[in-house]
Structure 1
């Protein structure tokens, strides 16, 4: 798809790469605005408004006559998409707590993992049949359908009595308070590092699988789709495991499983072979599927009165770690396989070190009202 857009706009490859960078920048920064405003005025206006903005941005991209217009469309699209991403977690926190919150967040995370998992196959097929612009039309249609479903079945989930001030000083105090609160920052930063490794995988995998391991474009699409099944299975186990053991233990187990996958990747070095590489990535994904909903639930559980801001800061940390991981893979003076292994090892090891105090001091997390332990 990138080659076809490159020809359509007469753009150089590094110029076209800005379509992804602009999206991530707008997505990361937009969350910090949406979260506190949704805590002040309610979820529904921002979910519906965000989806409307997503549709408009997608239509601009589909009809873009030039690269600058495409970049503008991608920024608008990201601002709409970030609202749905932030508020999906916040709405889950509004409605559930305990193991039910873990289960709800697992379903949210599975849905988020399905998008990058299935999009290569879907995008390739639509580009071949209908052209690359059809992909943005599909996104616009999906956004409109989700908005209708939300309007009919969900509606507002934040009662007026629980809304907070949207004054800049109050918002700044809340953000700084969350950043300094170990109940939030330990699990939030740990899961963000693991998610950063996941995005690094999606960035590095095409080069590793197609150049180093000889995958075709179809093989690559199938591999990405298979990753969804791994995350799906792992995510569905989290609520049951959190009931049997306390949530911090399950989260730490997920981080260690992901770290084991990273170590296995590092052992393979810069010249992996197909089966060991795929097995190591599967192990990492299984661990990520465990820690993601559990650590997210731990981070959000004590802050139901500011779930929008907490979800926004969590999303920002995840995008920042994703940007750092993908930047490292592109800048390290080693091959993509070795760089990816280094990022996964470093990221998951750091996540384990950050999360370990939360594991040792579980009372910090479990004494709060509505604990998930």
Structure 2
């Protein structure tokens, strides 16, 4: 079976946006596009008790707002990627932001859990476009180490959003009520659309676009799925991301119920994790230049796996929990951007489809990890340790296939 056509660095001649290089403005835009979905998810976590009381459901039942979001997010990306390869990135980004605003308004006025879940699904179908296309736009503009650097800095923002957003969500919940959080993220989407039009615009040149048909799209996806250059790093990184979102989903129960954290203390805990991700994200491209992307990404998996095993085997203690998660996030911060760059690097012509399939696996694995962790008949602390250890061990085995 023939492989997909690859795009060498020498062929990446772009128009004005690319010629500007990795400027602060371009980086901010890529980071904001990538982080909006994570922000919209984690900003509501501290408000779960208030939301449950308002809607007459338990906090456990509210986990459906997370799994439904991730599933819709995963499926939506499969359509967005190929559409952007055919029609360009700008139309899909702006349409996605508009849909996200509609979903946010539905959530803000929801009076029942099914209505809230419906709004979350609409949100996900919109924001999946910004997430998948942030990677595709980076691939349009950059190549090689510059691509790895752009993705590293973008992934920092994507991981920082879940860290800072609970603190922000707790403040909104205390001052204005949980519905204000959905209004807030909707307004952010509008501002982001305005900035995108003014700052970047279209990055996928007309002569680089591919034909659109169901048969052609399925052929591209099939070729990606059997291409080891893509599928090995994609599955490996997706397992790591699944473990990360399982941590975000289970941490409130562990910290607020088990360790008696207040919503504000929970927000501070999440915010403190951002500094670890910042550090790892800045180090990843520097280490990659010296030792290579594959070697550094593999080291990141080993670090995260060691932390997962420690979390699983040690006693339930808030200090040890914090230390183990710090080490896990350090490893995750290394493997995520480098593994993503390895997966997307050979597929410049089909960057949208490749990024979409990568995002599908990431969000799909996240939904599965959260569902299994919630269903395991063991304490939440142990359940999280099991999911993290299993995902990281499997991620390491798959990554061995990468040369």
Does 2:206 align with 1:191? no
1:243-302 CA-to-partner distances (Å, cap 9, x unmatched) read: 11111001101101101111111221xx42122221111000000000000000000000
CA 13–341 in structure 1, closer or farther in 2 if over 3 Å, else same? closer
Which among 363, 371, 380 is matched to residue 336 of structure 1? Answer: 380
Does 2:141 align with 1:95? yes
CA 70–39 in structure 1, closer or farther in 2 if over 3 Å, else same? same
Which among 177, 185, 188 is matched to residue 139 of structure 1? Answer: 185
Q: Secondary structure at the match of 1:303?
A: coil
Does 2:302 align with 1:282? no
Does 2:267 align with 1:221? yes
1:107-147 CA-to-partner distances (Å, cap 9, x unmatched) read: 22111112211121111110110111110110011001111
Displacement of 1:13 in angstroms is 4.8
Structure 1 residue ranges, 4+ long, deviating more than 6 angstroms after superposition: none
1:211-234 CA-to-partner distances (Å, cap 9, x unmatched) read: 333333222111101111111110
Mapped to 1, the partners of 2:85 and 2:100 lie a distance apart of 21
Mapped to 1, the partners of 2:68 and 2:246 lie a distance apart of 17
CA 132–234 in structure 1, closer or farther in 2 if over 3 Å, else same? same
Mapped to 2, the partners of 1:215 and 1:7 lie a distance apart of 19
Q: Secondary structure at the match of 1:214?
A: coil
Q: Which moved further from structure 2: 336-345 or 11-20?
A: 11-20
Q: Which moved further from structure 2: 150-159 or 22-31?
A: 22-31
Superposition RMSD in Å? 1.4
What is the TM-score of this pair, normalised by structure 1? 0.92
Displacement of 1:78 in angstroms is 0.9
Alignment correspondent of 1:119:
165
Mapped to 2, the partners of 1:260 and 1:151 lie a distance apart of 44
Q: Which moved further from structure 2: 53-62 or 13-22?
A: 13-22
Q: Is the Cα contact below 8 Å between 2:242 and 2:369 reproduced in 1?
A: yes
Which among 394, 399, 402 is matched to residue 350 of structure 1? Answer: 394
Does 2:299 align with 1:258? no
Mapped to 2, the partners of 1:215 and 1:5 lie a distance apart of 18
Mapped to 2, the partners of 1:227 and 1:245 lie a distance apart of 26
What is the TM-score of this pair, normalised by structure 2? 0.86
Mapped to 1, the partners of 2:153 and 2:295 lie a distance apart of 20
Q: Which moved further from structure 2: 204-213 or 221-230?
A: 204-213
Mapped to 2, the partners of 1:5 and 1:220 lie a distance apart of 17
CA 208–10 in structure 1, closer or farther in 2 if over 3 Å, else same? closer
CA 12–220 in structure 1, closer or farther in 2 if over 3 Å, else same? closer
Mapped to 1, the partners of 2:257 and 2:270 lie a distance apart of 16
1:195-223 CA-to-partner distances (Å, cap 9, x unmatched) read: 11101111111122223333332221111
Q: Secondary structure at the match of 1:357?
A: coil
1:5-44 CA-to-partner distances (Å, cap 9, x unmatched) read: 3343334555543322322221111001101100110000
CA 11–342 in structure 1, closer or farther in 2 if over 3 Å, else same? closer
Alignment correspondent of 1:368:
none
* Structure 1: gaps (5+ residues): 362-373
Displacement of 1:72 in angstroms is 2.4
Alignment correspondent of 1:19:
65
